[in-house]
A and B are shown apart, each in its own frame.
Chain A
Amino acid sequence: MAESYVTESEVAHHEALQHHFENMEQQREAAALGMWVFLVTEIMFFGGMFLAYTLYRRVYPQSFAVASNHLNIWLGAVNTIILICSSFTMALAVYCTQVGKRQLQIIFLIVTMVFGAGFLGIKAVEYHEKYVDNLIPGRLIPSRPFNPAVNQEGAPHDEHKLTLIAGAAVKQVELFYWIYFAMTGMHALHMIIGLGIMSFLLYFSIRGHYGPEYHNPVEISGLYWHFVDIVWIFLFPLLYLLGRHMGGHG
């Protein structure tokens, strides 16, 4: 040390301790608190979309039931289970870092990334189904404007067509799909960013940067990952399940 005023006890500090913190404990709590503040802004960000959803579901309940019932409940349910599994493995990755099990820490990070990628893969399959059925709203895809076929009374049932119930209208179904793509799209974007963060964590985990003494990045990335899971915990029942009892399946 070039500076003569650095005492011996300060030199003994953990190398990851930044100079503006008293000790590792304070640094850890500050990092977690900062992440929570960011998550508050995220809650308000998604909250605006949940507000729009609540409002229009209240105004057009029949059309929202029709649109909701057209979503693939099995893919939605499997994705919910995948995300919960990924949150579980993320929690275990944080745990393994805290207790110094480096091999397991790396394995759980990889498993979490595999679950995350699996979720996005299934989401892509769902989006493609909607694309095939002309359910992408407005003219987001210029060659395929929103133009779903509707099952007619007496004709054989086609699961690619909407089944309208009394009080439902195709124009209002389109509103549901705007909200559906906005919410699941923003959620998917958060998943993609999450995978980027995971890659970063994995790289530094393999290089041995994180252990019982210092693991703030693992801990706060975990907070972010769990938050994205929570958003889906609300999206699944609201988008896929509500209205299942009202008929109009297909």
Chain B
Amino acid sequence: MSEHIVPVRIYFLIFLALMIGTVLTAWVAFFDFPGPLNAVIALTIACIKAALVILYFMHLRYSQRLTWVVFLSALFWLAIMFALTFSDYATRDWFPTF
């Protein structure tokens, strides 16, 4: 059996990291950071949490390369959807600018 079995210790560490991330993101939300920094911080923490779940709970780190390609294709198409949509909206004069 060549399947990689992730040890329980790793699962527990990831679980702890996710808990800390949740408390941290709720706590920092009440501080008034300059500009769009509140959103940037919230999304950074969310992305780190999601990455931990994907890499370890979902075993992507130990998966074949084809699985990586499939997963990264989702991010790629998501990026296209956001980029093309906002290249339209963000260039309209009623759309708020920074």
A→B interface (CB under 8 Å): 24-25, 28-29, 32-33, 36-37, 39-40, 43-44, 47-48, 51, 54-55, 58-59, 61, 73, 77, 80-81, 84-85, 87-88, 90-92, 95, 98-99, 212-213, 222-223, 226-227, 229-230, 233-234, 236-238, 241-242, 244-246
Query: Which A residues are CB-close (under 8 A) to B96?
Result: 58-59, 61
- The answer to whether A55 and B89 have CB atoms under 8 Å apart is yes
5 interchain pairs (CB within 8 A)?
A48-B81, A84-B22, A213-B1, A233-B50, A245-B30
- The answer to whether A43 and B18 have CB atoms under 8 Å apart is no
- The answer to whether B26 and A98 have CB atoms under 8 Å apart is no
Chain B positions 16 through 41: 1 when the CB is less than 8 Å from some CB of chain A, otherwise 0 = 00110010011001111100001100
Residue among B12, B46, B53, B78 making CB contact with A44, cutoff 8 Å: B78
The chain A residue sitting closest to B54, CB to CB, is A230
Residue among A33, A238, A241 making CB contact with B26, cutoff 8 Å: A241
- The answer to whether B58 and A43 have CB atoms under 8 Å apart is no
- The answer to whether A87 and B1 have CB atoms under 8 Å apart is no
- The answer to whether A36 and B26 have CB atoms under 8 Å apart is no
CA distance in complex: A222, B57 (Å) = 8
Query: Which A residues are CB-close (under 8 A) to B18?
Result: 84, 87-88
Query: Which A residues are CB-close (under 8 A) to B14?
Result: 88
Chain B positions 65 through 98: 1 when the CB is less than 8 Å from some CB of chain A, otherwise 0 = 0110011011001100110011001000001100
Query: Which B residues are CB-close (under 8 A) to A213?
Result: 1
Query: Which A residues are CB-close (under 8 A) to B78?
Result: 43-44, 47
Chain B positions 42 through 70: 1 when the CB is less than 8 Å from some CB of chain A, otherwise 0 = 11011001100110111100011011001
| Nearest CB in chain B: distance from A10 CB, A | 19
CA distance in complex: A5, B14 (Å) = 50
The chain A residue sitting closest to B19, CB to CB, is A84
CA distance in complex: A99, B8 (Å) = 11
Query: Which A residues are CB-close (under 8 A) to B46?
Result: 233-234, 236-238
Q: How large is the interface on B (under 10, 10 to 19, 20 to 34, 35 or more residues)?
A: 35 or more
- The answer to whether A88 and B11 have CB atoms under 8 Å apart is yes
- The answer to whether B53 and A32 have CB atoms under 8 Å apart is no
The chain A residue sitting closest to B72, CB to CB, is A40
Query: Which A residues are CB-close (under 8 A) to B12?
Result: 88
| Nearest CB in chain A: distance from B55 CB, A | 11
| Nearest CB in chain B: distance from A62 CB, A | 11
Q: A51-B82, A230-B53, A244-B30 are in contact. Are A81 and B42 (CB under 8 A)?
A: no
- The answer to whether A245 and B31 have CB atoms under 8 Å apart is yes
Query: Which A residues are CB-close (under 8 A) to B22?
Result: 77, 80-81, 84, 236
CA distance in complex: A58, B96 (Å) = 7
Lowest 5 CB-CB distances: which A-B pairs, in order? A241-B29, A237-B42, A40-B74, A245-B32, A88-B15
The chain B residue sitting closest to A58, CB to CB, is B96
Residue among A33, A61, A90 making CB contact with B67, cutoff 8 Å: A33
| Nearest CB in chain A: distance from B19 CB, A | 6
- The answer to whether B71 and A55 have CB atoms under 8 Å apart is no
- The answer to whether A99 and B5 have CB atoms under 8 Å apart is yes
